[in-house]
Structure 1
């Protein structure tokens, strides 16, 4: 990590992931049902961070024994039968819905890339418009939204620095003054690429852009982009809140765990949760960092989210489950939970929904 040493920088708090809610202004008085939100921080603020965020890991990263087991028995791709359904993956691109300042709409471009229209802004999440990413076969469905069909991008949010979520060729298409919201420790990557409006946040911190609030919240995951930068930047999800109080939660990459209920307490009334349901087999290898479909439904309930839209499947073949299995399992889990079918927004790649 390249630390940014500015005379006006402050040192970020680093609450332990299994400890209490952070102390200070955002602490939880015993009389309140949920912690108050932090005051927004200045945009593009220069800050100094710890050299590592290993203390934020929910579970230890695999050691030599785990790596040896994976080398012996780990399957990283589905078999022939599991790949046979690729032509049937849901893909139905359409025009972006018309929106106004009081409209919230989402369009799934594929994987963890969404076009979120909220508070009059167009926000991209983890934008990956490339056909191929490092170390992974080419995408099995095209991008759901042509780049030239996008309106002006008002902001980008990044969950973490893995290649399938932080894609340099896609980001090079953006004007360098596009506001970008990133995890702690990741601003240097953008500054080296001449982005000028980069805001990096710690867990439970927030910033605001034109009336829309961007809260960075914890996730059960990790970060790494090179051989020497493991956990040198943070990872997490984002809660976007418009001036009318409507909330969209973008989980990024995450396993299942205690953070979902804490996020739900701090951000009650989440209208829509964008949750990952794919890249979960072999389970012993990926359980700590990727939800399976049943865990994603459980996470939506922990969050208190009114609706859920699945993501992180049907785009790149990253793991061993059959390519259509995440969809069939999430639908079954949603039904078993007794939740309204219309509140599961299982969109095709390129599909859109408007939050009324």
Structure 2
């Protein structure tokens, strides 16, 4: 990986292609996974949940109940359903990212805030993109509510899981590969993270983010779950002109334990700048409380970091859960 890499436009892979993948993707890790003694230290220090005063602002978490606005022709709309779940309407398609509509998921405390969009309010879902297989990003009860022929775009090695669940149009991609659906392009890009869902499947499937580009040129970057690192500059180099970056800002404390898997708010802004995105919409906070920072701290810190970077306030889309925002036609 180098900043001098030429901008190679990958040829789209066949929709629903079944492929054979390596048994492990551990060679893609950018940092070592936590060790047993790290987990013991976390437990001794009180675990990975906010407690006491850190929960004081929980009733103040913003939720927008106005529902999905009508999408105008030529616009790209995003609606934050909570955590890393977005309703993206672009190029005539409605796409879900990491859809988790469940109140409780395995190994995770119950939602701190309700889902921002009721399932019954959703239009027909044309595709789903998945960043990795952790339970707070890959939720089977939610996926079961979709028709089995819904196209699923997933990381390399995860396709077999979806096929076993009965989904019939599953395309799993390696980093820098893409697939197209009705003229909308979905490029799978690297992230600084890992994968695990069961006892014996650590790094058996890949992890990453998605660059979504509609025919008129509007371009979104969904970072998924990631720490900070050099991949962001490479993504920006290969996919210039990102109009909006959906960036994770929460689940970062204690920093010594979570630095290698999750960006903090300042790192999320830095990553957005590396990608070259004009706008940033924070996510991965205020939904499932997975770490010890105070509930509203990610929001306060990302606002301060955005201002410190000299970026226009209107380009930080710090949406409430359930809130929507639309892009006009690309300015190029």
Instruction: Name the TM tier (shorter chain).
Output: over 0.9
In structure 1, the partner of 2:98 is 126
Do structure 1's residue 166 and structure 2's residue 138 form an aligned pair? Answer: yes
Alignment RMSD (CA, Å):
1.2
Residues 100 and 119 in structure 1, CA contact (< 8 A), matched pair in contact too: no
In structure 2, distance between residues paired with 1:75 and 1:282 = 9
In structure 2, the partner of 1:53 is 25
In structure 2, the partner of 1:271 is 243
Do structure 1's residue 317 and structure 2's residue 289 form an aligned pair? Answer: yes
In structure 2, distance between residues paired with 1:73 and 1:89 = 26
**Would you say how many aligned residue pairs link Structure 1 and Structure 2?**
328
- Out of 203, 215, 221, the position equivalent to 1:249 is 221
TM-fit CA distance, 1:73: 2.2
| Structure 1 unaligned residues grouped into runs of 5+ | 1-18, 22-26, 29-33
- Out of 58, 81, 105, the position equivalent to 1:86 is 58
- Out of 255, 262, 277, the position equivalent to 1:305 is 277
Offset from partner CA, 1:232-278 (integer Å, 9 cap, x none): 00000000000011100000000001010000000000000000000
In structure 2, the partner of 1:139 is 111
Residues 187 and 210 in structure 2, CA contact (< 8 A), matched pair in contact too: yes
In structure 2, distance between residues paired with 1:257 and 1:114 = 24
Do structure 1's residue 98 and structure 2's residue 70 form an aligned pair? Answer: yes
- Could you say which structure has the greater relative contact order, defined with CA pairs below 8 angstroms and 6 or more residues apart? 2
In structure 1, distance between residues paired with 2:154 and 2:289 = 26
TM-fit CA distance, 1:36: 1.9
Do structure 1's residue 339 and structure 2's residue 311 form an aligned pair? Answer: yes
Q: Under a length normalisation based on structure 1, what TM-score does the superposition of the two structures give?
A: 0.90
In structure 1, distance between residues paired with 2:35 and 2:54 = 29
In structure 1, distance between residues paired with 2:219 and 2:16 = 23
In structure 2, distance between residues paired with 1:67 and 1:114 = 31
Q: Under a length normalisation based on structure 2, what TM-score does the superposition of the two structures give?
A: 0.97
| Structure 2 unaligned residues grouped into runs of 5+ | none
- Out of 166, 188, 191, the position equivalent to 1:216 is 188
In structure 1, the partner of 2:197 is 225
Residues 42 and 48 in structure 2, CA contact (< 8 A), matched pair in contact too: no
Residues 2 and 234 in structure 2, CA contact (< 8 A), matched pair in contact too: no
- Out of 100, 120, 124, the position equivalent to 1:152 is 124
In structure 1, distance between residues paired with 2:74 and 2:195 = 35
Offset from partner CA, 1:202-239 (integer Å, 9 cap, x none): 00000000000000000000000001000000000000
